[in-house]
Amino acid sequence: MSRVSDSEREFDLQPDPRILRMLGEISLVQWRCLAEFIDNSVDSFLSPVDSATPIREPRISITLPTSDASGAKITVRDNGPGMTPDVLEKAVRAGWSGNDPISKLGMFGMGFNIATARLGTVTSVWTTTRNSHEWCGLEIDFDRLVVQRSFRTPRLYRPKAVPDEHGTEVTVQKLKPEQRQWFAKGTNRSRIVKDLGRVYSSMLRTNGVPVSFELTVNNGAVRGREHCIWGGDLGPDRIVPTGRYGDVSAYQVIETTLPARDFCTRCWQWLPPNDEICPECDSSATVVVRQRRVHGWLGIQRYVSASEYGIDLLRHGRKVEIGSKDDFFVWKDGDVPEDEYPIDDPRHRGRIVGEVHIDHCRVSYMKDRFDRNDPAWEEMIHIVRGRGPLRPDRAAGEGYGSNDSPLYLLFQAFRRNSPKPKVAGCYARLLMVPDNESAEEMAGFFHNGDSRYLTDDKWWALVEEADSALLAPGRGEGETERRDEGFVDGDTDVEVGGRPTDGGSAVLEPPAREAIPSLTREYRDDVTDQRWNVHAFSVAAGDPALVGGSGPWVLTATAAGVHEFLVATSHLVFRSATLTALDALLAELAWQSTDFARGGGQPARYANVLAQLRARYAGSMALDPVLLAGEASSVLNAMASSLASTVPTAADRRQLFGELQLADQEAILSRMAARAVANPQALVDSGRFLEFAPRQMLLRFFESHPELFMDGHFWDARYATIDYEVPSPLMEARMRTLRHYSGLLYDAAWLAEQDTGDLVHATRARLLRAALALELLTPTPVAGSS
């Protein structure tokens, strides 16, 4: 019998060196390539070789090329504990990972090779430990490895500049031409800094989780992008009352420790409960007990946005998913997912944000998505949003019990971006700034690190101003309550009110002035490049600072470079539907800007300057067809939904549905079928069938049953509770109320049914009438209502 050689007995499965080059074809954007290096550095900070000497002031420095030169290179260096030569050899081997996907952040090996191959063709890695006498390194040259058809590369050594230095340095050279061109653009490098600041914000802050470190790019510090929220660590706890759920904080802390569970480090998977042997490898040798914890917070942003909202999901301090929405704001029960938030804003803008840490959940090899099949994922969803729909009536109708999850509470208290009804205190109960453009502009200062905007004080001032304006009907925009104690502005101290003389005798108090936060800001004109730092104050008519004491407003410059805008909002000129304090200020700024340009020999048209200023600062006053149509749908939907709580029994609700004409019943059932309603009878029994009614049918239903919507059911206006001893005046009073609300509802239905493209061509008068109808339809308490 002939002897069988080892080569004949085994297959040689060592991959061809070209596999390294092929890894570079995997799509990985530039910031993710750099993140692969950062992740490995973070892991080294968390697991120093010598635990007795932890890393002090951990830092990572990145150097990026600034020109499209042949010698361009990328360097990432950290002051971590470093690696021994044996660990270094394994760390850069394709397909090897010293970390499992649960206990660590990085996956030094595959991720490292993908990132380096994506950027260039030559990579060098140098590392040293505190106790080493020299740096040990290696070079991965893809072209040379392909030629020699092996993975072998010599060990390199260099002396230490400082005896106790330690860390790792990765340099990628011979960058691909497209990468050199990309990094050569300053805007792209700035984008890198912003992306890294967002992804690692949890660790770039003081007392970071799980570690704090300093990150620089081209010697510039990378600042973590924090969420601009109410309360939290940046201000007082903002708590709002709700009728059903009590007081709800705008900042919800998440802290849940789950029972420990067995995990196989070889197969990278959780074991079923009570199992001690991995079903994949049929072994218990690599089974360890893992701790499991879900922690973080949810909060309310100080502004609304169509894109900047959602929940960030983190693993070991690194954001894997940013602004996740579908898994939290969509109810998935059956084949048709149903949006739950934001559904009350016609522009689909939201403001619920948060950071949730789930270190024990697996992620994809690209580290851009958590594994939805990991059992840890479903556990986290239940902790954050509970079980069942976020809408309480929908949850009750489908048999779900109570829900006290953080997201559920925030949804109940802050789901709306516009208060209904608009009464004093309504903006504070929603923590909502009426002028979202101002709120967003201030958020820009917050994100730039301006200390004046870190707390929510300036946003709160706008909320208080809006609520104060609702205390006294008919008061002009910007007019707030007078306060005897004066006002201290957030930027410069401006105190008003009389003071006693040194001798204690009283002096004549100057006229009272009240700051107007909504008008106090920086304004700029792009036409003439003028800037104004405006501090606005409401003054009494006849204030001597006004021109001749009788003018409606004045704008003057102070020695401190501040422009004071004094406006008498009680002046007759403001008793108009077409002039507000903001209009006055913008007109004044446009005049000053035009006058300045004229003096400089480059005249600007007043009309152009004013139009530009209004486009920038008066957007909230525009008759936006899209916004109006959305508000109309919201009012009508809320009215239809109110039937479920108004009619007490299922039998009565079925009777109301049965009274509809057959064609109307069929129309409702058809809409239910289009939305894949599995049990239409249940919606009839619950009284929710009106939510599927066409708009005109809803109006006919109201005219047939006004008593179901009046007297506090939806509107507080009296109808059934009107009481006259003589029948004729009683009928006349009720008919007058019915005609009033029917007319308003027809305007709302017109808005909701029109295509937004057609609404663009509607006359201003028609849109204004419909907008006023929506305002009057808001369920506002009326005098004498019960």
Q: Which of 173, 200, 221 is the last residue of a domain?
A: 221
Output the pLDDT for position 307. 94
Which pLDDT belongs to residue 576? 79
Give the count of alpha carbons within 13 A of 166, CB side only. 22
Is the same domain home to 88 and 164? yes
Q: Which amino acid is at 317?
A: G
Computed from CA positions of residues 534, 540, 545, 548, in that sequence, does the dihedral angle turn out positive or negative?
Answer: positive
Taking a C-beta distance cutoff of 8 angstroms, is the pair 56, 89 a contact?
Answer: no
Residue 706 lies in a domain: yes
Dist. CA 666–CA 670, nearest whole Å: 6
Q: Domain check: are 590 and 697 in the same one?
A: no
Residue 665 maps to a domain: yes
Claim to verify: residue 177 and residue 39 sit in the same structural domain: yes
Same domain, 555 and 656: no
Which of these, 375, 538, 564, 557, lies nearest to 472 by C-alpha position? 538
In a domain, 10, yes or no: no
Residue at which a domain ends, from 399, 414, 429: 414
Low-confidence ranges of the chain (pLDDT < 50): 7, 9, 11-13, 49-50, 95-98, 107-108, 473-508, 780-786
Q: Indicate whether 571 and 659 sit together in one domain.
A: no
Question: In one letter, which amino acid is 598?
Answer: R
Flag whether 381 is in a domain: yes
What is the C-alpha to C-alpha distance for residues 199 and 709, in angstroms, rounded to an integer? 49
Q: Does 709 lie in the same domain as 597?
A: no
pLDDT at residue number 783: 35
Whether 272 and 369 map to the same domain: the answer is: yes
CB-count exposure of residue 152 (10 Å: 0-12, 13-18, 19+): exposed
User: What is the pLDDT, as a whole number, of residue 510?
Assistant: 57
Q: Same domain for 209 and 104? A: yes
Q: Are 411 and 390 in contact (CB under 8 A)?
A: yes
**In angstroms, rounded to a whole number, what is the distance separating the alpha carbons of residues 145 and 152?**
8
| HSE (side-chain half, CA atoms, 13 Å) at 15 | 11
- What is the distance between the alpha carbons of residues 425 and 465, in angstroms, rounded to a whole number? 10
pTM to 2 decimals?
A: 0.77
CATH number where 200 lies: 3.30.565.10
- H-state helical runs in 494-580: none
Q: Are residues 241 and 288 in the same domain?
A: yes
Is 582 contained in some domain? yes
- Which of 679, 659, 657, 678 lies closest to 668 in space, CA to CA? 657
CB 683 within 8 A of CB 689: yes
In a domain, 502, yes or no: no
Residues 273 and 164 in one domain: no
User: Is 480 inside a domain boundary?
Assistant: yes
Contact between 260 and 290 under an 8 Å Cβ cutoff? The reply is yes
HSE-up (13 A, CA, CB side) for residue 337: 10
Report pLDDT digits (tens) over 48-59: 644 557 788 999
Q: Read off the tokens for 676.
A: 């894949």
Given this model, what pLDDT does residue 216 score?
A: 98
Q: Domain containing 576: what range?
A: 472-492+510-617
Residue 501 lies inside a defined structural domain of this protein: no
Q: 520 with 566, same domain?
A: yes
**CA 642 to chain CA mean position, Å:** 30
Q: Would you state the pLDDT for residue 757?
A: 77
Q: Based on C-alpha coordinates, what's the Rg of the chain?
A: 33
Domain count, the chain: 4
Domain final position from 568, 592, 617:
617
pLDDT at res. 5: 52
My answer on whether 129 and 248 are in the same domain is no
